[in-house]
Amino acid sequence: MSSEIKLIKYTIKKPITLRYPSSLIPEKKYSQIPEGLRGLLQRDNEKCIGCKACHYSCSGKATTFQYRENKLIIETFILRCAFCGYCQEICPEEAIKLTKTFEITINNPNEKEAYVTTELDLVKCKNCGKYFATKKFIDKTYQRLIEKINPIIKELVMNDYKKIEEYCTDCRRILSIKLNTHPKKYVWLEG
């Protein structure tokens, strides 16, 4: 008897098939979209400081960077991206977010739509004239330096950093004696 009731139940019920591309009701179009779904990544151009942490944490080497004259270009190749979310996890400024768009089809891998790119302006070195880092990156490193430093040598470091702020990493080493910013003097203070 129970099997007959089941039979009548299933004849009245609608089929479970989803009418995927042609469905008029958006809720019944997709099977289920879970909360933690990781889709296409989005990089905020204003929040990004150009620290390249996303490049070093990328599991598939999809994110690459290159210096082109006065601009730093960070681009992610979507076709190689595995949507693992490591870049979102490690980004110090929370500029990268994985959206929930998963219906991605690309016809040509060489087109612009296959890349997520950000362009950032670089600052010139005062001594050698080389483009080396973005202005936001220099400011952020200064802020983070102050937070973690020993209060005894705080003022000295602050003064020293402002002297060498506009030079690139190679010139900082060369000019350290000339500008009196060599780290050797801190050893005397502590001793």
Contacts to other proteins by CB under 8 A = 15-21, 30-31, 59-62, 77-84, 102-107, 109, 114
State the Cα–Cα distance between residues 120 and 146, nearest whole angstrom.
25
The residues near 30 (Cβ < 8 Å, ≥ 6 apart) are 18, 20
- Nearest distance from residue 82's CB to other proteins, in Å? 4
Cβ proximity to other proteins: between 92 and 109 the closer is: 109
- Nearest distance from residue 16's CB to other proteins, in Å? 6
- Nearest distance from residue 74's CB to other proteins, in Å? 17
State the Cα–Cα distance between residues 48 and 96, nearest whole angstrom.
8
Cβ proximity to other proteins: between 54 and 81 the closer is: 81
Long-range contacts of 157-165 (CB under 8 A, 24+ apart): 165/138
Q: Which amino acid is at 61?
A: K
- Nearest distance from residue 17's CB to other proteins, in Å? 5
Nearest to 21 by CA among 105, 108, 114, 103: 103
- Nearest distance from residue 87's CB to other proteins, in Å? 14
State the Cα–Cα distance between residues 146 and 136, nearest whole angstrom.
16
Nearest to 120 by CA among 185, 55, 177, 68: 68
Cβ proximity to other proteins: between 85 and 140 the closer is: 85
Q: Which residues of 69-90 are buried (b: 16+ CB within 10 A; e: fewer)?
A: eeebebbbbbeebebeebbbee
Cβ proximity to other proteins: between 30 and 70 the closer is: 30
Cβ proximity to other proteins: between 45 and 59 the closer is: 59
